[in-house]
Amino acid sequence: MTGARLAEGQEQVLLSQARAGDKDAFGAVVAPYLRELHVHCYRMLGSVQDAEDVLQEVLVRAWRHLGSYDGRSSFRRWLYRIATNRCLTSRSRAAAMPAPVPVLSAAPLTPPPSNAPDVEVTALQPYPDEWLSELVGHEDPADQYELRESVQLAFLTVIQLLPPRQRAALLLRDVLSFSAAETAQILQTSPASVNSALQRARATVEGHRASGRLRPVSTDAAAACILADRFTTAWHAGDIPALVTVLAEDCLLTMPPLPGAYRGRHAIAAFFGTVPATGDIAAIGLVPIRANGQPAVAAYMRAGDRAEAYGIMVLTAADGQISEITGFADPSLFPLFGLPQQTAWHPATTGQQSGGIDGLRRWPSGPGQGGAPGR
C-alpha cells in the first residue's frame, strides 16, 4: 500500500506529470503516504473500514483538486489537510447513525452485570500489525515505541471520547509533530484555536493516564507473547481459574461497542464462564495474531467438524501480567488479518483436553509478522 519516500526533485516531477493528467504519476506520488494516511484516518475514526472509505475519498479529492495545490506547503501536509477534514466530515455523519451491536452468542443468555460503570467504551476496531510495518520512518526503537503508544487500544479509546477537533489537534501536534501553524493550516483555523483545543485534549488524556486507564506500553514483546500463550493454553483447556491467574488483579475487559466493562479477575472469570459459548470456552479455538502492536487472538467457534469466525481479543501486557482484554465480536474483521471465515476443527486426541483448528496454530514472531496481506 505504500512505498519509499521520494526525493524532493522526483516528487516535483511526478506532481507536474500528474497535473497534466498522468494517473500513473499521481499513483506514484501519493504511494509513499498511503499507509500513514490510512493510520491517521484510523486514529481519527477508530474503524479500519471507515478509514479505508475515507482514504478513497481523499485520493479522489486529491486527484480532482491537484491543480489547486500551489506548493507553498509540503505535498504531505496538503494530503493531511484533505484527510483530516474528510475524517471530521465522516465523524459528523456517523454521529447521527447508531453503532451496530455485536452478537456475543447465538444462544439466549444474560451476561453478568458490568462492575466498571466508570469506564467509557466507544466503537473501535483492531488494526493489523502487518500494516503498521509498512510505515516509513519508524525503524528507530524510540520511534517504534512512540508508534505503539499511538495505536494502543486504550489510547485510541480515550481519544475517541474527545470532541473531533480536539482529537485532530492532538494527533496532528503530539503524534505527527506538525507545528501549531501547520496544524492551523490543516484545520483551517488559527494557531490560538489549535493551542486551546490541544490544551483541553492533553488535559483529558492526562486525566485518563492518572486514573490508570492509560498505562505505559510494554517494551518486552517476548514476555507479552509468553503471557498470551499461557492465556491461550488455559483457554483451550477450558480452565478459567488457570486463565485468570495470567490477568492482573485489576485487569479490564471491554467489548467495543458494547457499553459494559468488567474489572478484576472475579468479574472476568464470571463473564468467560457464562457468555462465550455459554461458558464452554474450550469450544472456541484461539489463533495467535498481532494487532495495534500487541499480542491478540482470533477466536473460532466449533460448529461440528468446522470452526467459524467468532471474534478477536487484543491482550495488553503490563508488569508481567495481562492488564486489559479488548474483545471484538465481529467475524468480518478476520480477512483484515489474512484469516478465513471458516476452517476445519479437529476433535481432541489422547492427551489433549480440547480439539484444535486446522493449520492455524502459530505465534507471530513480533510486530509486522501477523500474516495479513499489505493493502
pLDDT in tens, 25-34: 999 999 999 9
Q: Where in the chain is the domain with CATH 1.10.10.10?
A: 153-215
Residue 134 is given by DSSP the state T
- Topology adopted by domain 221-357: Nuclear Transport Factor 2; Chain: A, (3.10.450)
Write down the CATH number for the domain with range 1-97.
Answer: 1.10.1740.10
Q: Where in the chain is the domain with CATH 3.10.450.50?
A: 221-357
Q: Where in the chain is the domain with CATH 1.10.1740.10?
A: 1-97
Across 76-222, the runs of DSSP E, i.e. the strands, are: none
- Residue 45: count other Cβ atoms within 10 Å of its Cβ: 27
pLDDT averaged over every residue in the chain: 87
Can you give the pLDDT at residue 352? 47
Cα 6 to its chain centre, rounded Å, is 28
Q: Which of 201, 209, 196 is nearest to 43 (CA)?
A: 201
Does residue 277 contact residue 270 with C-beta atoms inside 8 Å? no
Task: State the architecture of 153-215 in CATH terms.
Answer: Orthogonal Bundle (1.10)
Instruction: Enter the C-alpha cell of residue 209.
Output: 493516564
Confidence (pTM): 0.88
Q: What is the mean pLDDT of residues 345-354?
A: 54
Question: Counting Cβ atoms within 10 Å, is residue 197 exposed (0-12), middle (13-18) or buried (19+)?
Answer: buried
Does residue 49 contact residue 328 with C-beta atoms inside 8 Å? no
Element (H, E) at 15: helix 8-19
pLDDT of 362 strictly over 70: no
Contacts for 372 with CB less than 8 Å, ≥ 6 apart: 128, 129, 130, 131, 336, 337, 338
**pLDDT band of 7, cuts 50, 70, 90:** confident
Q: What is the pLDDT of residues 170-220, one digit of tens each?
A: 999 999 999 999 999 999 999 999 999 999 999 999 999 888 888 877 778
**pLDDT band of 374, cuts 50, 70, 90:** very low
| pLDDT above 90 coverage of the chain, percent | 71
User: How would you classify the pairing of strands 247-254 and 321-328?
Assistant: parallel
Q: Give 38 or 99, the one with higher predicted confidence.
A: 38
pLDDT of 137 strictly over 60: yes
Does residue 131 contact residue 35 with C-beta atoms inside 8 Å? yes
CA distance 303 to 357: 12
pLDDT of 371 strictly over 90: no
